Structure 1
Amino acid sequence: MDLILWRHAQAHALPLDEALQARAEAGEDLTVHIDMAQDLARTLTPKGERQAERMAQWLNQRLPDTTRVLVSPAQRTQQTALALGRTFKTVKSINPQASVDDLLEAARWPRARDAVLLVGHQPTLGMLAARLLTGQDLAWSVRKGAVWWLRSRERDGHTSVTLHAVQPPDFL
């Protein structure tokens, strides 16, 4: 099974008041302070739109026609996926607060017959790649607009996962 992870392209920042901005700059995790509706409404920047278009072109040259495209309900991921020009399904469980297990379940890993493209968010995409490639929950970074292409194979009752490709948008 091929599992392709596509992080949404560059999006406009969430407006923060001065106190929250200072806490963010100090490295504090502000997840509990962020208004989910505001976060889901964030849109791509002009640079993000260009990143999504370039990556969509690269993907469309490589993705099988039968690929299932599953997308977070966030506006920025919807815009990223629209660049593909393919039918996709919005899956609530792929939201910015999703867990690695949520993504694996949505993708039907490793049982899906067809390739699956997940358009989602950090840190979950990086953690998913780390778990599948190392067996550990590690905080790996997936750049904005980048794709990580993973491939699983079952042999002698064991599933092995290989990193098929990593493509950042700035190399296109």
Structure 2
Amino acid sequence: MDLILWRHAEAEDERDGLPDLKRALTKRGEKQAAKVGACLKRELPDDTLVLSSPAVRCVQTADALGRKYQVREALQPGAKAQDLLDAAQWPSAKQPVMIVGHQPVLGQVVARLLRMESGECALRKAGVWWLRAREREDGQEIVVWAMLPPELAS
């Protein structure tokens, strides 16, 4: 199974009175999302299930893919790593799953699956980690299939 984790692009800073879920992408964030989204459009398998946090910044990032996606409340800020893995049906989903979400939980998922001792991994805004679960004779192996910072997307 492939699990693709895409952190939302650059968003507005928190302002007085603006709920966190309502923060939108900045102009720079819109450009980041468009650039990474264009690259992902070419690479993602057609049957990829795309799931997004309900936060405006995540929905706007997911929109850059130009394909259908589902908004899942379980992916909003404050989610736990297991919430994301459950939403993705990891590792038994029959198709690739992409999650558009937030730090620190995306990094916690990466760290958990790759067995990083720190328990956390930094994901840049608009960055993508593509993980693949493969069955081996001695059990399941998780590999980093790709990492894409927004600067390398083309």
- TM-score using structure 1 length: 0.85
Q: Aligned equivalents of 1:101 and 1:87: distance in 2?
A: 24
Structure 1 stretches of 4+ with a deviation exceeding 2 A read none
Matched, 1:165 2:146: yes
SS at match of 2:107: helix
Q: Aligned equivalents of 2:113 and 2:96: distance in 1?
A: 16
Out of 135-144 and 62-71, give the one that drifted further: 135-144
Aligned to 2:13: 13
Aligned to 2:65: 84
Summarize the alignment of residues 38-49 of structure 1 with structure 2, pairs less than 5 Å apart: 38-49=19-30
C-alpha distance 137-118 of structure 1, shift in aligned 2 (>3 A): farther
Q: Aligned equivalents of 1:158 and 1:43: distance in 2?
A: 42
Q: In the alignment, residue 59 of structure 1 is paired with which amino acid? A: L
Out of 130-139 and 43-52, give the one that drifted further: 130-139
Conserved? CA contact 1:131–1:137, under 8 Å: no
Aligned to 1:28: none
Q: Aligned equivalents of 2:53 and 2:138: distance in 1?
A: 32
Structure 1 residue 137, shift from structure 2 partner: 5.9
Q: Aligned equivalents of 2:2 and 2:39: distance in 1?
A: 16
Give the length in aligned residue pairs.
153
Summarize the alignment of residues 8-157 of structure 1 with structure 2, pairs less than 5 Å apart: 8-15=8-15, 38-134=19-115, 136=117, 138-156=119-137
Q: In the alignment, residue 55 of structure 2 is paired with which amino acid? A: A
Structure 1 or 2, whichever has the larger Rg, is 1
The runs of 5 or more residues in structure 1 that have no matched partner are 17-34
The runs of 5 or more residues in structure 2 that have no matched partner are none
SS at match of 2:19: helix
Conserved? CA contact 1:56–1:83, under 8 Å: yes
Structure 1 residue 156, shift from structure 2 partner: 3.1
- TM-score using structure 2 length: 0.95
Q: In the alignment, residue 115 of structure 1 is paired with which amino acid? A: P
Structure 1 residue 138, shift from structure 2 partner: 1.3
Q: In the alignment, residue 12 of structure 2 is paired with which amino acid? A: H
Conserved? CA contact 1:127–1:137, under 8 Å: no
Q: Aligned equivalents of 2:5 and 2:71: distance in 1?
A: 15
SS at match of 1:134: coil
C-alpha distance 98-137 of structure 1, shift in aligned 2 (>3 A): farther
SS at match of 1:10: coil
Q: Aligned equivalents of 2:67 and 2:79: distance in 1?
A: 24
RMSD, matched Cα: 1.4
